[in-house]
Amino acid sequence: AQKITQTQPGMFVQEKEAVTLDCTYDTSDQSYGLFWYKQPSSGEMIFLIYQGSYDEQNATEGRYSLNFQKARKSANLVISASQLGDSAMYFCAWVIQGAQKLVFGQGTRLTINP
């Protein structure tokens, strides 16, 4: 069965530092996508960034970038210049092309310290 793993239950980072949140996945499928979502304490799920398995360039969205290493099956989220508002749960999610069923990792709770 497909599996997605976030090995960091919690992370503490100083404001303005960069932070990398780890995500690895286990699949034999060739066509798939990887997503990162943010869940602040208010509870909503906010889409951050997406990477397709055939995309040659790493995805970037503002301060967010995705370090995609296909051979290692990892899709780490990098947040540059962290802000207090970045404190939240972060979820990595995987989906096989066509299935549209998101499979989520366990999440990482990120805390940004002033």
Partner 1 sequence: DTAVSQTPKYLVTQMGNDKSIKCEQNLGHDTMYWYKQDSKKFLKIMFSYNNKELIINETVPNRFSPKSPDKAHLNLHINSLELGDSAVYFCASSPTSSGTGVYEQYFGPGTRLTVT
# residues near partner 1 by CB under 8 A: 27
Q: Which of 66, 76, 87, 107 binds partner 1 (CB under 8 A)?
A: 107
CB of 46 to partner 1, least distance (A): 8
State the binding string over 29-68 for partner 1 (x if CB under 8 A, else -). Answer: --xxx-x-x-x---xxxxx--x-x----------------
Tokens of 46: 């906010």
Neighbours of 104 (CB within 10 A): 14
CA distances from 85 to 2, 38, 42, 93, 102 (A): 32, 11, 12, 22, 25
> Is the Cβ–Cβ distance between 100 and 76 less than 8 Å?
no
Residues forming contacts to partner 1 in the complex (CB under 8 A) are 31-33, 35, 37, 39, 43-47, 50, 52, 89, 91, 93, 95, 97-104, 106-107
